[in-house]
């Protein structure tokens, strides 16, 4: 299992983006968190099998009805998570 960090930019704050990502990721069995950043982006961190990475990216792109994702930056991280997916 690996962990990944994503920085999502676009219209992603104040539009229920984090709530939807958290609910959908939790329902799909992912572990990690999503949080707002001061620069207007959202950070998401997940621990998952590499085979499920495309599924998680699809959740990030979908967001909420009112959101618009313009870009997603991806990097590896040493943080590991188990259990739930939460909003921080």
> Among residues 5, 23, 36, 62, which one is catalytic?
36
24 is catalytic: no
Closest to 3 measured CA to CA, from 47, 49, 50: 47
**Which three-class secondary structure state does DSSP give residue 37?**
coil
Q: Any residues with CB less than 8 A from the CB of 7 and at least 6 apart, and which?
A: 37, 41, 42, 43, 72, 73
> Among residues 18, 20, 24, 41, which one is catalytic?
18
36 is catalytic: yes
Catalytic residues: 18, 36
């Amino acid at each position: 299992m690996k962990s990944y960090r994503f920085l999502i930019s676009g219209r992603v704050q104040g539009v229920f983006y984090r709530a939807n990502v958290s609910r959908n990721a939790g329902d799909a069995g992912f572990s990690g968190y999503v949080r707002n950043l001061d620069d207007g982006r959202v950070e998401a961190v997940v621990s998952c099998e590499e085979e499920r990475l495309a599924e998680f990216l699809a959740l990030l792109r979908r967001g909420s009805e009112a959101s618009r994702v313009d870009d997603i930056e991806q990097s590896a991280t040493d943080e590991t998570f188990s259990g739930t997916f939460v909003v921080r």
